[in-house]
Structure 1
Amino acid sequence: AAGTVLVIHGWRSRTEYMRTLIEGYRRAGYRVVSLDLPGHGQSQGRRLNMVNAVEAAKVAGEWFGPFSAIVGHSFGGAVAANAVAGSVRGIQPVAADRLVLIAAPSSLPAIFADFSRMLNVGPRSQLAMADRVEKLSGRPLGEFTGDRQLAEALVPTLVIHAPDDREVSADHATRYAGAGDHVSLHWADGLGHRRILADKGVVEHAVRFAIGHGESTLMH
């Protein structure tokens, strides 16, 4: 077999939404491990946060890793970047040769700010939330930005994003791409936040990158 790929779904999603990608990797000869994050799909638990999501990725790595690639959509992409960068204190980095981040938010502070705007969360509550992140993870909220994590991890990374994504703006993709030469960016025009997952061209790109063709000649 070509190796093992870990696939991580997004917020309020589940493994079956990743089916087109999973099948693409399987056809290319990979063994695919797909994770239902805590409180999602078949997994137990009531709450999902960055810390227990990274923990779940770490456990998957202990059982099935090291991975040829970790592929994440939306929040699952942020989880993948955090897992590989080892950004949660006390959780060792998950070993992966490559990262594929599809429609992924790159910055927890930015997500918190959007979320707070949508729900009219006041400044005191925002501070309390940031404080909670630091207590849970051992790091201040401001350190959870994807460009910073990828700059530390130096794993060859492919970022795939639609410029018209309404849920996670294209700025996030640009920020990831700024982490260094080991990150390449593919714009998937007109595919929004969810349709991007079922697009044949996107899947082909993601699979080729794991194999080491196309844009992934960026190996250091």
Structure 2
Amino acid sequence: MITSSLIHVRDILHAQLCYQAFITPIFLPLEKEYRDFAKLACEFIEGRRTEVIHNEFPRHHVLHRFAPQKNSKGKKVLITHGWISRAAYMARLIDVLHQQGYEVYALDFPAHGEAKGLQLPWTDAVAILKDTINQYGPFYAVIGHSFGGSMLLNTLNVAGQLPEWQLKHKPERAILIASPTQMRSPVNHIAKKFKLSGHGYLYLRQVMKQQARFDIKLVRLQHFISQSPNIAFLCIHGELDKTISTKESIEFCKKYPDAKLCLLPEANHVSVLLDERVERLVSDFLE
């Protein structure tokens, strides 16, 4: 009996620890091959942005605004970065789109880039995206890498189901770059990494439900597809991506009727951010 109780307590504590790891970005040194790019990207953001917008709710986050050039298209684009990343690392896309005449907004999520904080619950990320789109939109297109793309998809999904999460204007185009399209994928990944028991996994899901701002079942992909949201999607994924499986993009494009899939040979999870092919694909898709 005592042993059973101890196992129960252990599983609960293990699940809580796992959840804390799930919402806490831990920044490790960049691989050598990307350090020069990262330095130049940060310098680019600081030198070229028109405005830096700080918002405090629900957690401190930062928007980098790039005002349209003389050849303005009169369209806005929102760009979101991945986990343990920052807006600056989307610099090549920001630069290309800005030069083409788009008004670009690039977001630093809480606890990332120039934003304060130590943690980022994923439903807070969705709340931030909803508020950003409603306050600074309408956005012609939204673009996200990895976590950023996943949160954009969740934002669009929940917006079509809950009135209080509704968007004033939905984007016409959405681009997911190396993004998980099912929330269970990153959850399963960290559960496996922490070697949670079966009961520990159930406790983890329970903790996530308790901390969420809405029913987490709402972000299931089938709910989004059933809405027929009339948004064209482009999914770009490196064939060598070992962080997020290409299956995420492949399955999404199989199920979503208005989606185009581009798998890039010799590209991985990080190199897609430096890949000229991505810039061309994005530019062509937005035309």
The normalised TM-score by structure 1 is: 0.88
Q: Give unmatched runs, 5+ long, in structure 1.
A: 212-220
Deviation at 1:52, TM superposition (A): 0.7
Alpha-carbon spacing, 1:146–1:25, altered in 2? closer, same or farther (3 Å) = farther
Q: Percent identity?
A: 25
User: Could you tell me how far 1:195 is from its partner in structure 2?
Assistant: 0.3
Specify the code of the residue in structure 2 equivalent to 1:77: G
Alignment map for 1:1-220 (pairs within 5 Å): 1-2=72-73, 3-86=75-158, 89=162, 90-93=164-167, 95-135=170-210, 136-141=212-217, 143-146=218-221, 148-152=223-227, 153-211=229-287
Scaled by the length of structure 2, what TM-score is found? 0.68
After alignment, is 195-204 or 174-183 more displaced?
174-183
Q: Which amino acid aligns with 1:60?
A: T
Native 8 Å contact 1:24 1:204 kept in 2 = no
Q: Cα gap change, 1:147/1:13 in structure 2, threshold over 3 Å: closer, same or farther?
A: farther
- 1:148 to partner: Cα distance: 4.4
- For residues 133-168 of structure 1, the C-alpha deviation after alignment (integer angstroms, 9 at most, x for no partner) is 333142244x53446435533310000011221000
The answer as to whether partners of 2:157 and 2:219 remain within 8 angstroms in 1 is: no
SS at match of 1:23: helix
Output the CA distance in 2 between the equivalents of 1:194 and 1:7: 16
Conserved in 2, the CA contact under 8 Å of 1:150 and 1:179?
A: yes
Q: Distance in 1 between matches of 2:226 and 2:179?
A: 16
* Partner Cα separation in structure 2 for residue 178 and residue 145 of structure 1: 15
Partners of 1:145 and 1:165 lie apart in 2 by 23
Partner of 1:126: helix, strand, or coil? helix
Q: Which amino acid aligns with 1:24?
A: V
Q: Is the 8 A contact 1:102 1:159 kept in 2?
A: yes
Aligned residues between the structures: 210
RMSD: 1.9
CA distance in structure 2 between the partners assigned to 1:123 and 1:47 by the alignment: 26
